[in-house]
Amino acid sequence: MITKGMNGAEAVLRVLRAMGVEKIFASPGSDWAPLWEALAKPYEPGEVPEYISSRHEETAAAMAMGYAKVTGKLPALVVHTTVGALHATMALRAALHERIPMVVMAGESVTFAEAPLPELGRQWLRLLTDVGGPARLVESCVKWSFGMNTSLLLPHTMQRACQLAMAAPRGPVFVSVPLEFMLASMTTDPPAVAAHASAPAAQPAAIEALARELAAASNPVIVTEEVGKSVAAVAQLVALAETLGAPVVEAWQPTYVNFPRAHPLYCGVAAVEMAEVLKGADLVFLVESVGPWHPPSALPAPGTRVVVLGEDPLHAHLPFWGFQADLVVAGEAEASLAMLVGEVRKTVSPGSRAAAIERWRSRNEQRRATTREAARVAGTRDVIETSWVVHELDAVLPDDAIVVDETITHRADVLRLFDRLTPGRYFEASYGGLGMGIGMALGVKAAHPDRIVVNTIGDGTFHYNPVLGSFGAAQEHRLPILVVLFDNAGYRSQKGDVINEYPEGWAVKADRFVGTSITPRPDYALLARAYGGYGETVTGPGEVRAALARGLQAVAKGQFALITMVLEPVNPREVR
């Protein structure tokens, strides 16, 4: 890798590309002029990463997350110093908890234009400087944060940042790159290094112990939330479940398709019904599961053993976990599950537990039929309901479409009724904070420009998103996605909290739920049209499928689309 003689900005570009970075997502400020100058040079295709700019740091960070989730590749993220880095921290925190890799960079100044260095602008000393720089501001939201202290090691540091981001457990890393270093001429070349460290599988002895527990169980149950990060890992989980005749249930907030949703052993998302699914279980196997039930002391029943497998099985970033764990095995899911399947099959012959599979098939087919029938009934009513919208969307989506969901009170219907989504085609965008769904969908679209990408989103969540910056990115970079907006004119989850905590309180008695309405109702479709998109508002159940079809047609023609579904309002008497 040759960087000697280049300025720092070009060295950064070339090192990132050599380390496997194909795309840089950005919402930069004046600290990145050397990078823009370097990008203006002519390059051969693939010589430096593709640069994709947006108009808000949260949009850029969400795009990087969506791209990384759907591809497994390492993106870079460039943001404005200080305030831009702070804008991005909500997304970086989510990436840290979800173990999504990215290399994040912000600029700063370390000389403040004192001679003999060039004049860099008075804003650096007056407006954009904090003690410790941006690296200190974001350090709690990334796995590694470093403020560069010499230009001599700039290429080496970028190599190290890429390696650390991709090392298990993966996550975001942050490098503050002073503007002076990007202007400087590099005097050395970095060493030859491996781009990625191999992900560690579980130890063979631990896999053997886990296999013994599973094979000895008469009624094992598998619980997962995040194994779908790897499509290959899902295939191994299917093989394991079929060998054991074990039902698979997703916990409260699955972030991927973790198991084929039409499989006879798939028991759905069981936030409320978890106790029913676990009834009679003598062993619970938690696979990449963060919060399988709530509170942690609620389950399982006395005498039931709990075994755990995950890359970070004890969730070091959480202040409390508190779940029973009789055996804990650390290891990357795909390789560890493959080893586990082989070990279990030494004791349990494939097909030997077919009777158990058939028992669960009957239950789960009935569950799906009941859910689907309830959605069809909803479509006969006077007002649009979420279940009907998802039912119709599931029917019209192409077989390779990808859904990015950022809903709260609509999520149960989204998860239960998207039966046709296969692993690798669903991503949750609300890990701990709202405002990333549209950007994440754009990042997925940047990775798969030839596939339909849909963002399902609530109106409350929509307001947390940097909508104008995101729609601007969709228009500028020709990233046509379909946004399906559930408009119930309020914050149902907040209203529900008041009712749950004060069932006999003033709010319930007076039917006055302060701060939970979004009124007057905006005309959201106009926002799409302002950025060259297709916008439509739907008010009747009978119009839903045709409107979705028109949205998909617009997307197929290269135009992003926003379809607003007008639901029963959260607070009917306040709607104007």
The percent of residues in the chain predicted with pLDDT above 90, rounded, is 86
Give the pLDDT band (50/70/90) at residue 576: low
Instruction: Give the residue among 426, 307, 391 at the shortest CA–CA distance from 565.
Output: 391
Question: Order of strands across the sheet with 220-224?
Answer: 266-269, 248-250, 220-224, 283-287, 305-310, 327-330
Tokens of 118: 């060039």
Give the pLDDT band (50/70/90) at residue 125: confident
Cα–Cα distance for residue pair 139/433, rounded to 1 Å: 18
Instruction: Give the residue among 413, 398, 435 at the shortest CA–CA distance from 551.
Output: 398
What confidence tens digit (pLDDT) does each residue in 55-93 have?
999 999 999 999 999 999 999 999 999 999 999 999 999
pLDDT in the model for residue 71: 97
What confidence tens digit (pLDDT) does each residue in 1-52 have?
899 999 999 999 999 999 999 999 999 888 899 999 999 999 999 999 999 9
Instruction: Give the residue among 283, 245, 280 at the shortest CA–CA distance from 265.
Output: 245
Identity of the amino acid at 435: G
Q: Are 221 and 281 in contact (CB under 8 A)?
A: yes
What confidence tens digit (pLDDT) does each residue in 167-214 have?
999 999 999 999 999 999 999 999 999 888 888 999 999 999 999 999
Q: Rounded mean pLDDT of the chain?
A: 94
Tokens of 107: 């600029």
| pTM for this prediction | 0.95
Tokens of 379: 């479509």
Give the pLDDT band (50/70/90) at residue 122: confident
Give the pLDDT band (50/70/90) at residue 575: confident
Give the pLDDT band (50/70/90) at residue 116: confident
Plot region of 564 (φ>0 → left; ψ -120 to 50 → alpha; else → beta): beta
pLDDT in the model for residue 272: 67
Helix and strand totals (H; E) in the chain: 22, 18
Domains and CATH numbers, the chain: 8-183 (3.40.50.970), 204-364 (3.40.50.1220), 382-574 (3.40.50.970)
Say yes or no to pLDDT of 110 above 90. no
Count of C-beta atoms within a 10 Å radius of residue 492: 22
What confidence tens digit (pLDDT) does each residue in 438-488 have?
999 999 999 999 999 999 999 999 999 999 999 999 999 999 999 999 999
Give the pLDDT band (50/70/90) at residue 541: very high
Average pLDDT of 566-570?
96
Largest pairwise CA distance in the chain? 81
